[in-house]
Amino acid sequence: MKAFLIDRYRKGGALQLGQSPEPQLRDNDVIVEIHAAGVNLLDGKIRDGEFKLILPYRLPLVLGNDVAGVVVQVGANVRRFKPGDEVYARPAQDRIGTFAEYIAMDQADVAMKPANLTMEEAASIPLVALTAWQVLVERANLRKGQKVLIHAGSGGVGTIAIQLAKHLGAYAAATTSTANVALVKSLGADVVVDYKKDNFEKVLQGYDVVLNSLGKETLDKSLAVLKAGGKLISISGPPDPDFARQNGSGWLLQQVMRLLSFGIRRKSKRQGTSYAFLFMTANGGQLGQITSLIEAGNIRPVIDQVFPFERTNEALDYVETGRAKGRVVVAVK
């Protein structure tokens, strides 16, 4: 089958369009004919080798972490899906590969595609929506009336997180650039801070949760926004010891992550707040709940561009500029 893959880690290198073996079916698997795939910064980071210590992939590797398509085959133990079902998913970390014609995934990671979305729209959802869900619902336990700050409100995670926060009844603030203020307001944000004009840490205070997806400077400043007992949850690092343990990392790697996050953990503890790193995981059950919110009109996808499959490298380059509003998708079929 046709696929975009890498045969070695190389910073900024182009993905190679070539032939890859069709996936093997396991007893709990569904094989999906891929119609569309979301493009993420994560794809570029894997290509660059940034995660090779914590995600030791076997090369050559087909990239791609979001998928929407049609089930064409099911394993012996599969009862939830049948051939012909339209589904979407974020494959498990060790089974990625959506920049291809087919993929095999465990049924536990898959959900029925929202009936009111196209394949391209559906492919834009899984990774970012699961990230927002796992930060706001699982980790933060965000409740009605609480206040949350969402950085990069016009980005892939941000556009979904704002809508999810409002569905949960929270008061949502978001940061973005001047050009994207109107978009972020349209998603329901109660306060939008234009970072080109204002310093968010000087205009926001008393927040229960901050979702950080930006760099160290923003991470440090975010502590000033939180009230006592508040939670700073970052999806861009640094990783912490809890993540290392959950990831099954060895003692040495656990110590490295302890050191990487020592500064921010110490600062947060001093002011009576907490810091946590989240690396989202595949979860078909949670994605099914997200499907219900989409079909009810509580969450809508925001797509910047759809590229044809042959231009997957261009799509990844565009994502890496950081200028995309919402998501970028490749149409495979």
**Model confidence over 113-139: pLDDT tens digits?**
999 999 999 999 999 999 999 999 999
Of the chain, the percentage scoring pLDDT greater than 90 comes to 90
* pLDDT confidence of residue 242: 83
Mean pLDDT of 262-275: 94
CB atoms < 10 A from the CB of 138, how many? 16
* pLDDT confidence of residue 55: 80
> Can you tell me the distance from the alpha carbon of 39 to that of 92, in angstroms, rounded to the nearest whole number?
16
The answer to whether residues 131 and 280 touch, using CB atoms and an 8 Å cutoff, is yes
> Can you tell me the distance from the alpha carbon of 187 to that of 184, in angstroms, rounded to the nearest whole number?
5
Whether omega before 114 lies within 30 degrees of 0, making that bond cis, reads no
Nearest CA among 53, 290, 325, 291 for reference residue 186? 325
Question: Vertex 322, ends 241 and 218: CA angle to 5°?
Answer: 45
Q: Exposed, middle or buried by CB within 10 Å (0-12, 13-18, 19+), for 270?
A: exposed
The answer to whether residues 208 and 147 touch, using CB atoms and an 8 Å cutoff, is yes
* pLDDT confidence of residue 296: 98
The CA dihedral of 89, 91, 93, 99, to the nearest 10 degrees, is -110
- Res. 260: pLDDT tops 90: no
Q: Which residue has the tokens 């699982």?
A: 138
Mean pLDDT of 264-269: 93
> Can you tell me the distance from the alpha carbon of 87 to that of 44, in angstroms, rounded to the nearest whole number?
25
**Model confidence over 277-326: pLDDT tens digits?**
999 999 999 999 999 999 999 999 999 999 999 999 999 999 999 999 99
DSSP 146-196: -EEEESSTTSHHHHHHHHHHHHTT-EEEEEE-GGGHHHHHHTT-SEEEETT
Cβ within 8 Å of residue 7, ≥6 positions away: 16, 59, 60
* pLDDT confidence of residue 261: 85
**Model confidence over 169-208: pLDDT tens digits?**
999 999 999 999 999 999 999 999 999 999 999 999 999 9
> Can you tell me the distance from the alpha carbon of 40 to that of 329, in angstroms, rounded to the nearest whole number?
9
* pLDDT confidence of residue 243: 82
The answer to whether residues 27 and 65 touch, using CB atoms and an 8 Å cutoff, is no
* pLDDT confidence of residue 6: 97
Lookup: tokens for 197 = 């004009």
- Res. 24: pLDDT tops 90: yes
**Model confidence over 41-100: pLDDT tens digits?**
999 999 999 888 778 899 999 999 999 999 999 999 999 999 999 999 999 999 999 999
Average pLDDT, the chain: 95
- Res. 209: pLDDT tops 80: yes
> Can you tell me the distance from the alpha carbon of 91 to that of 73, in angstroms, rounded to the nearest whole number?
16
The answer to whether residues 102 and 33 touch, using CB atoms and an 8 Å cutoff, is yes
241 pLDDT tier (thresholds 50, 70, 90): confident
Element (H, E) at 132: helix 126-133
Is the pLDDT higher at 48 or at 252?
Answer: 48
